[in-house]
C-alpha cells in the first residue's frame, strides 16, 4: 500500500482552524487513518500516486481561475449519482490545503446524501444538520482531520426538503459567515447532482463557480448536455473533471478539460 507523505500529525484544537493569524476558532480534532483514506480513494497526500499528481494539476487550474477572478467559493457537482464528486471534493480540498498560501474549508452540502464524514472518519460526527435543526454554532461543528490547513464542515443527517434549505436565509447567513471569517480561506461545497433535483440551481447564486465531475463510461452525452443546460445563466462552470472508473488502467485515472 502506498505510504502517505507527509504523515498526518494531530494539532491543538484551539489553533486548528487559525493558520491565517485570525482569532482562533475551537474546532474538533477527528483523527483519520491512511488506510481509511486510501480505501475511499482519498489519495491527494500520496505523492507518488498518479491520481494525486492529477489532483495537483487540477489544483493549479482551479487556483489560477480563482485568483484571476478573485473567487473564494467553489461548488463541486456532477450530472448524476456515482460520478465521484465527493471524492473529487475531498481530494481537491486536501491538495489545495497543501499549498501553504491557503486554508481550506470543505462543506458537505449534499443534504440528501451526505457522505464526506463517512469517507474520512471512523466515528460519526455532528454536522451541518445540527446547525439547521438545533441552531448549534458553526464553531462547534467544524472538524480538523489532522491535515494541515484543512477544516471540514460535515453533513450528518439527510433532508428531503433540501433545496428549500439551501436557499433559506439561515443557509445564506452561514455562507456569508464562513466566507468573511478568513481572508485567505478557499471554500469548497460538495453539492448534490445537478439532475437529481433543483438543489444545485437553488444554491448556484451563492458560489463563485462550479466544477462539474463526470465519469468515463458512465456519464452519457445527454446527461452532460442536460446538466450544462440547467446551469446555463445560473452559474459559472469553471471546468469539467473526467473521472475514469477503471483504476487498473495505465492512465492516471483523472483528466481535466475546460
C-alpha cell at position 130: 445540527
**DSSP structural state of residue 199:** H
Side-chain-side CA neighbours of residue 103 (13 Å) = 20
User: Is 69 a domain residue?
Assistant: yes
User: Is 20 a domain residue?
Assistant: no
Domain, as residue range, for 50: 28-257
User: Is 109 a domain residue?
Assistant: yes
pLDDT along the chain (258 residues), means of 10: 34 41 58 81 81 90 95 97 94 93 94 92 88 91 91 91 93 92 91 95 95 93 95 90 61 50
User: Is 15 a domain residue?
Assistant: no
What's the distance, CA 57 to chain centroid? 16
Alpha-carbon distance of 58 to 211, in angstroms, equals 11
User: Is 105 a domain residue?
Assistant: yes
Order of strands, sheet of 254-257, starting from the edge strand that comes earlier in the sequence? 28-29, 143-144, 150-153, 103-108, 185-190, 73-77, 209-216, 237-244, 254-257
Q: Looking at the 3D structure of the chain, how many domains does it have? A: 1
Q: What is the CATH number for 248?
A: 3.40.50.300
pLDDT of residue 246: 52
User: Is 8 a domain residue?
Assistant: no
What's the distance, CA 243 to chain centroid? 15
User: Is 10 a domain residue?
Assistant: no
C-alpha cell at position 72: 473564494
pTM of the complete model: 0.84
Is the Cβ–Cβ distance between 88 and 193 less than 8 Å? no
pLDDT of residue 49: 81
Alpha-carbon distance of 110 to 97, in angstroms, equals 22
The alpha-helical segments, DSSP class H, found in the chain are 34-39, 50-69, 85-97, 116-120, 128-134, 162-166, 169-181, 199-203, 221-231
Q: Could you report how far apart the first and last alpha carbons of the chain are, in Å? A: 33
Look up cell 461543528; give the residue: 141
User: Is 148 a domain residue?
Assistant: yes
Amino acid at each position: 500500500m502506498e505510504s502517505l507523505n507527509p504523515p498526518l500529525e494531530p494539532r491543538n484544537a484551539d489553533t486548528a482552524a487559525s493558520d491565517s493569524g485570525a482569532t482562533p476558532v475551537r474546532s474538533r480534532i477527528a483523527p483519520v487513518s491512511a488506510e481509511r483514506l486510501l480505501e475511499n480513494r482519498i489519495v491527494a497526500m500520496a505523492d507518488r500516486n498518479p491520481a494525486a499528481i492529477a489532483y495537483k494539476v487540477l489544483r493549479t487550474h482551479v487556483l489560477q481561475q480563482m485568483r484571476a477572478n478573485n473567487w473564494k467559493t467553489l461548488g463541486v457537482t456532477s450530472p448524476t449519482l456515482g460520478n465521484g464528486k465527493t471524492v473529487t471534493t475531498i481530494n481537491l480540498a486536501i491538495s489545495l490545503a497543501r499549498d501553504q498560501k491557503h486554508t481550506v474549508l470543505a462543506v458537505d452540502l449534499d443534504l440528501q446524501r451526505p457522505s464526506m464524514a463517512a469517507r474520512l472518519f471512523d466515528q460519526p460526527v455532528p454536522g451541518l444538520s445540527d446547525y439547521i435543526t438545533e441552531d448549534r454554532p458553526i464553531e462547534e461543528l467544524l472538524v480538523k482531520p489532522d491535515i494541515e490547513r484543512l477544516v471540514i464542515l460535515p453533513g450528518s443527517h439527510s433532508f428531503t426538503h433540501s433545496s428549500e434549505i439551501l436557499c433559506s436565509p439561515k443557509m445564506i447567513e452561514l455562507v456569508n459567515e464562513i466566507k468573511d471569517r478568513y481572508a485567505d480561506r478557499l471554500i469548497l461545497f460538495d453539492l448534490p447532482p445537478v439532475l437529481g433535483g433543483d438543489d444545485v440551481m437553488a444554491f448556484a447564486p451563492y458560489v463563485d463557480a462550479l466544477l462539474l465531475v463526470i465519469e468515463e463510461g458512465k456519464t452519457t452525452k445527454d446527461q452532460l448536455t442536460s446538466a450544462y443546460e440547467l446551469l446555463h445563466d445560473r452559474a459559472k462552470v469553471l471546468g469539467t473533471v473526467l473521472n475514469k472508473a477503471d483504476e487498473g488502467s495505465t492512465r492516471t485515472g483523472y483528466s481535466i478539460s475546460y
